[in-house]
Amino acid sequence: ELQLVESGGGLVQPGGSLRLSCAASGFPFSTYAMSWVRQAPGKGLEWVSAISSSGGTTHYANSVKGRFTIFRDKSNNMLHLQMNSLRAEDTARYYCAKDRVTFGSGSSIYMDVWGKGTTVIVSS
Amino acid sequence: VLTQSPATLSLSPGERATLSCRASQSVNSFLAWYQQKPGQAPRLLIYDASNRATGVPARFSGSGSGTDFTLTISSLEPEDFAIYFCQQRSDWHTFGGGTKVEIK
């Protein structure tokens, strides 16, 4: 069964850091681009970041560029999002999601498998 | 920018639902539709404007190209009451604000 399980969310103070992780199983992880998408409480969806299947290319929304870093560890089928300089507006549920097609660059993705998400709260 | 309308659609089971997504500039056919139920992750329904994703019932259909797109649910089932988002991949990735389909 295709599965994505996020972890690492929590309460952090403004200016702090957090690392989210996503464990992938049930599919050849290294052949798919992956994304992070977030959803603020009661709001819509916002794409945050994507990484190519090879891991060599990364993309970020303007709202997180320079503060967040996406990376993947193919040896253990893990996707990560390092979040620094966190702000109140980063408060959201963060989902990891898989590209629908193989060997994508991450720049043009439909997301066909999603995890249940992990919640990040940035507050003092 | 993707603008979805209406914000809320109040319908009864068995009725037809028509949801709209309008792009501020052409996205060709690079548009998807997702369904999200309370407390759940989104689910891909339609990609490339009109292709049903794996396992999606035939009552869901998508149409359109360029700037105007439609998701149609031919006959609403109880499990279809949810929020629906459109997403484009023509120019990075953006989502519409969503349409809530609620029981009338």
Q: What is the mean pLDDT of residues B50-58?
A: 97
Residue in chain B closest to A59 (alpha carbons) equals: B92
Start-to-end C-alpha separation, chain A = 40
Query: How many CB atoms neighbour CB B81 within 10 A?
Result: 20
Query: What pLDDT does B34 receive?
Result: 98
Residue B100 burial class via C-beta count within 10 angstroms: exposed 0-12, middle 13-18, buried 19 and up = middle
Q: Does A60 touch chain B (CB under 8 A)?
A: no
Confidence tier at A9 by pLDDT (50, 70, 90): very high
Query: What pLDDT does B92 receive?
Result: 85
Residue in chain A closest to B89 (alpha carbons) equals: A108
Query: What pLDDT does B19 receive?
Result: 98
pLDDT higher than threshold 90 for residue B54: yes
CB contact under 8 A, B47 and A44: no
Chain A neighbors of B95, CB-CB under 8 A: 44-47
Residue in chain B closest to A58 (alpha carbons) equals: B92
pLDDT higher than threshold 90 for residue B103: yes
Among residues 61-100 of chain B, which lie with CB inside 8 Å of chain A? 85, 87, 89-90, 92-98
| A44-83: pLDDT as tens digits | 999 999 999 999 999 999 999 999 999 999 999 999 999 9
Tell me the percentage of chain A whose pLDDT exceeds 90.
Answer: 93
Per the rule left: phi > 0, alpha: psi between -120 and 50, beta: everything else, B14 is left
pLDDT higher than threshold 90 for residue B5: yes
